[in-house]
Amino acid sequence: MQLFLFFGILKGSVSYAILKTKEVINIMAWFFTEENISGSNYTLVGESAKHISKVLRMRTGEDITLVSPDKTQYECKISLITQGEVTVDIISQKPCENEPDVFVTLYQALPKGDKMDFIVQKCTELGISRIVPMISARCVSRPDEKSLKKKCERWQKIALQAAMQSRRGIIPEVTPCISFKDAAEQTKQNEKTVFFYEMGGESVKKILNGTKPKTVGMFIGSEGGFEQSEVDSVTAIGGQAATLGKRILRAETAPLAALSIIMYETDNFSS
């Protein structure tokens, strides 16, 4: 009787574990399409199809979510899995509501080592829209053009994976690396530019002053921070120097803190 009871408990535990595993897979089954969807079904190919069939080991009849470039979210059911292709039937669709209503561009001075991998991943989770790697005066990391191209390709893949994991409505763009001068020129298109400076500035709350700009550019330095001349060049075109407090943050911590504050002050952490 005790053995039967133990087996019953064990069997129930296994069933519960399988159920929870399926729930996790369904949460992870979030994919982006390269084009807008029309019709009642859609076929995924390439890496997405491979991930569904080989990594997640999903089967016909299981549910997945697709998001198209026009930010439409499709709830789908797998109808066919073949070699290199996964076809789904579209059950329902609606606008994806997971995106912040502020478009934030991160101008990030290249940090040393693989810290940029972490920055791209976590900023994607927090709602960044575009990441622009740049070379500033105090950057220690200065890869050659060929290495930079490979790095940018890897960062874009990291952004894709993080967007899938965090159920974003878009895949943030990681642009080619540019000079600080070009970044300063580019940020003129933003409604608000915030320059996070280790030597001090205003709080983000005071800079935004209760407003909700549609586009924000934020500048974050590498390990050595920024030259005063760089600060002056951005403030001369309307940017504002901001502070992250009295403590000095690591190069990979500062962008996460800065983005979190902007999202909070623009009400993008509310449900």
pLDDT, position 151: 95
Sign of the C-alpha dihedral computed for residues 149, 155, 161 and 163 taken in this order: negative
State the average pLDDT over residues 146-156. Answer: 94
% the chain with pLDDT above 90: 76
State the average pLDDT over residues 176-194. Answer: 95
The token duo for 244 is: 């992250």
pTM of the complete model? 0.86
pLDDT in tens, 95-109: 999 999 999 999 999
pLDDT, position 28: 65
The CA angle 99-268-192, to the nearest 5 degrees, is: 95
In the chain, the amino acid numbered 160 is L
Tell me which residue of 135, 142, 219, 127 sits closest to 180, measured CA to CA.
135
pLDDT, position 30: 94
pLDDT in tens, 35-78: 999 989 999 999 999 999 989 999 999 999 999 999 999 999 99
In the structure, what pLDDT confidence band is assigned to residue 145 with cuts at 50, 70 and 90? confident
pLDDT, position 134: 95
Q: Where are the alpha helices (DSSP H) in the chain?
A: 2-28, 46-50, 115-126, 145-165, 180-186, 204-208, 228-235, 254-265
**pLDDT at 14 > cutoff 50:** no
pLDDT, position 22: 47
| Share in percent of the chain as helix, strand, coil (round to 5) | 40, 25, 35
Query: Is-contact 218 191, C-beta < 8 A?
Result: no
